[in-house]
Amino acid sequence: MNYDGLILWLQTSGLKVAVIIVAGVVAQLAISSLIRRLLTSVLAKHVIGKRSDFGRKKRIDTLHQVFTKTLGVVFFLIVLLMIFVELGINIAPILTGAGIIGIAVGFGAQDMVKNLFHGIFILIEDQYSEGDIVKVAGVTGTVEDFDLRRTVLRDLNGTQHHVPNGEITIASNLTKGWARINWDVGVGYGTDLKKLKQIVNEVGRRLQADNQDVVEPPELAGVEEFADSAMIVKILGKVQPGRQWELSREFRKMLKEAFDSENIEIPFPHQVEIQKQG
């Protein structure tokens, strides 16, 4: 074995190969650290709505992982090609073959790429996070898990749905920032609206006194519609996100009791039977 030739190669080309590898690893680590700092800074300034530190950290970790892995593949290929050049290997056929393979894989992986890009934008724009109740792709449920490829929802019946992120064109978040008690109720046309407003607003204030999650007590907003057998009025309030359903049920219960005590009629359809005597 020609040890002199091996030592000479290690001192020249071998040293250059080692430098290329070390430089690639250092550049990857440095850019990875820079990406995390940038993500932390950007998300801290531009994330909309109240979010926990855990939710923000999850988005940062997920985005950092995606960008780091992508750049890792790019750096690996660049370092590999530079090593081939240093070893005297012709890389032109390799680049040609890689281009053909890339085109074939690209056509076969369009849906996956679409899912990944949609997932990235969902994270960056903070459309929803784990624990939110959302409506996506015609499915409503609690977000149990989320990654860049798919969103996992659990609906009210306990059914688990896996929705590819690429299928999500409209995402409706029902538990972000704040939520509303939005209720229409029918009362008789003979109802005194001033008295009705006092009763509704008083019940709303009692609800707020009993529940700290009520941001703005439900109040009578006005007459919404004149129906066939009832006057429809609109009641609006503001509550903490995720509490609108439970507090709406409690408010309706309290309002029914108040209506009964104040003789406020809630009309309902009647059926009249006419008998003819012959």
pLDDT tens digits, 30-47 = 888 888 888 777 766 655
Q: Does the residue 215 lie in any domain?
A: yes
Q: Are residues 162 and 186 in the same domain?
A: no
Q: Are residues 133 and 148 in the same domain?
A: yes
Q: What is the per-residue pLDDT across 207-238, written as a single tens digit (0 to 9) for each?
A: 999 999 999 999 999 999 998 889 999 999 99
Q: Tell me how many domains the chain contains.
A: 3
Q: Does the residue 120 lie in any domain?
A: no
Q: Which tokens go with 43?
A: 């998300």
Q: What is the per-residue pLDDT across 164-178, written as a single tens digit (0 to 9) for each?
A: 999 999 999 998 888
Q: 10 Å Cβ neighbour count for 270?
A: 6
Q: What is the per-residue pLDDT across 129-187, written as a single tens digit (0 to 9) for each?
A: 888 899 999 999 998 888 788 899 999 999 999 999 999 999 999 988 889 999 999 99
Checking if the pLDDT of 270 tops 70, the result is: no
Indicate which CATH number applies to the domain containing 7. 1.10.287
Q: Are residues 104 and 26 in the same domain?
A: yes
Q: Does the residue 86 lie in any domain?
A: yes
**SS3 label, residue 85:** helix
Q: Are residues 90 and 137 in the same domain?
A: no
Give first-to-last CA distance, the chain, whole Å: 126
Q: Does the residue 117 lie in any domain?
A: no
Q: Does the residue 267 lie in any domain?
A: no
Q: Are residues 215 and 135 in the same domain?
A: no
> Which domain does 94 fall in, by range?
3-108
In this prediction the pTM is: 0.66
Question: Which residues fall within 8 angstroms of residue 42, CB to CB, at 6 or more apart?
Answer: none
Q: Does the residue 277 lie in any domain?
A: no
CA-CA distance, 42 to 90, in Å (whole number)?
A: 43
Q: Are residues 161 and 91 in the same domain?
A: no
**179 and 238 in contact (C-beta within 8 Å)?**
yes
